[in-house]
Structure 1
């Protein structure tokens, strides 16, 4: 049983309204032999928006799964794909954001749930408070406008809501939006930020493609016991010995693989293909 036998010529629904099919569909169709469709009038904003009008329900993975399940419900299908992005401060590098993209693959016939992932610091995720057009241009140039879209918003105290303009990709629209916001903002301050929806953010789209490649790698990794796709690393054990002093380092020594379907576990030594660590990465040789 291989990928082509499991998925060839099957119809898969991709839960998106932000044109993610442009990077996800060609990869899956070529590698798995599936036919990908996007459901009409499918509103993924009900599962959360980057501009905060709708809070994401649960975790990033839960939101992606909600999308996929809803798409299956609407289309009465049995194979679904959905993706979800997240932007958080980098855990190690101050003032830098990281983009985590996941792509979930649900196969109801074979009872499979496989998740591809990409974590990258390649992102233009940014926001700023501006008070004039000069500051607007500085921000826009910094984040890659007009190839990358922008969002302009301000707090409307009278209506007790945020007035938001999304998907700004033209200079005239940016000027108009900022000018209008400045005139109506109670404190002459306007919020400007990157539009992180996939169709307005080519940098994010590249990370979604990388997460899709990771998904395909996991699908192609089959369990030695039951042959089900998705035999993936669930734990990394540190301790790769230093090449000079042989004291364990923090680099990976062993990877634990597990099958989600039958539960089979397998340990693999030297997951990165190295039997020893460079002394430069040893806390004793290079404190």
Structure 2
């Protein structure tokens, strides 16, 4: 599905962020959709939650993004708002790898729609409980320091007092001495700073989520011509090329409209059947 029209060409949207996300979101939106995104400040987005656990997140990932978008729209007077919100968990495949889910939302009050861009990928979110400076320095390569900045706190991950945005060995040593002095256990807890402007891996994932959003914004519903026509479901059942039985591999994509709810199933072409190794009958 594709569309050469640009329904957002020449329009303006707000983006509320204090963590540098405008550096990837604004150019992508302008280049792909002609949408001019205005960087909005003047509101502390940390009020809606922090990755350092001192302020719990406002609602779900989508709800927090929606709140940011609405605040940005209110502050700027725009009818279109964009906001980004991240989340961290273990990977959905093995459950062993740190994973980052990025969501970039567009709220469009001119059309009364919301479109969501999404991306999940490996995270740089290492952590360590260290009992000495030498033990901490061994951790630095795993943390990709200094390109990825650090947070340090006394005792453990639950201690609310912390130092953030540590990006030099000098500031790290100073923060370590501060945390060690306050520590009751003799340990300090060090971890990657997960804010976007301190974590290049996360910023790259935000760009990919923005690209997903931009692609959906450019795709119009064949029924109502609203932007946001995108794949919402994948139908499984690609036949095994040996025995013909259905497998768990995809055979078609279901496209849906965010405005009118129109749905279309589109077969995935250029497939000559599933490999028998993926078939529950040929390879039980």
TM-score by length of 2: 0.93
Deviations 1:191-247 (A, max 9, x none): 111001111011111111111111112112211101111111222221111111111
**How far did residue 116 of structure 1 move?**
0.6
Pick aligned residue for 1:277 from 267, 274, 277: 274
Aligned equivalents of 1:261, 1:141: Cα separation in 2: 48
Tell me the residue number matched to 1:76: 77
Where do residues 65-144 of structure 1 align in structure 2 (5 Å cutoff)?
A: 65-121=66-122, 123-144=123-144
Where do residues 169-180 of structure 1 align in structure 2 (5 Å cutoff)?
A: 169-180=167-178
Q: Is the 8 A contact 1:3 1:229 kept in 2?
A: no
**How far did residue 124 of structure 1 move?**
1.2
Tell me the residue number matched to 2:215: 217
Aligned equivalents of 1:235, 1:27: Cα separation in 2: 26
Pick aligned residue for 2:228 from 224, 227, 230: 230
Aligned equivalents of 1:50, 1:145: Cα separation in 2: 18
**How far did residue 3 of structure 1 move?**
4.7
In the alignment, structure 1 residue 57 sits paired with structure 2 residue 49: no
Tell me the residue number matched to 2:24: 23
Q: Is the 8 A contact 1:240 1:275 kept in 2?
A: no
**How far did residue 275 of structure 1 move?**
4.9
Distance change >3 Å, CA 104–CA 16, structure 1 → 2: same
Tell me the residue number matched to 2:151: 151
Distance change >3 Å, CA 275–CA 220, structure 1 → 2: farther
Aligned equivalents of 2:216, 2:275: Cα separation in 1: 29
Aligned equivalents of 2:54, 2:96: Cα separation in 1: 25
**How far did residue 168 of structure 1 move?**
0.3
Find the residue that maps to 2:206 and give its secondary structure: helix
Query: What runs of 5+ residues in structure 1 fail to find an aligned partner?
Result: none
Find the residue that maps to 2:253 and give its secondary structure: strand
Aligned equivalents of 1:227, 1:274: Cα separation in 2: 30
Q: Is the 8 A contact 1:98 1:119 kept in 2?
A: yes
Aligned equivalents of 1:43, 1:150: Cα separation in 2: 21
Where do residues 233-248 of structure 1 align in structure 2 (5 Å cutoff)?
A: 233-248=231-246
Find the residue that maps to 1:179 and give its secondary structure: helix
TM-score by length of 1: 0.92
Deviations 1:32-77 (A, max 9, x none): 1122211122311111100011111221111111110111112221
Query: What runs of 5+ residues in structure 2 fail to find an aligned partner?
Result: none
**How far did residue 143 of structure 1 move?**
1.4
**How far did residue 165 of structure 1 move?**
0.3
**How far did residue 130 of structure 1 move?**
0.9
**Superposed structure 1 runs of 4+ greater than 6 Å apart:** none
Count of aligned residue pairs for this structure pair: 281
Q: Is the 8 A contact 1:3 1:219 kept in 2?
A: no
Deviations 1:91-127 (A, max 9, x none): 3314211111111011111222110111112x21121
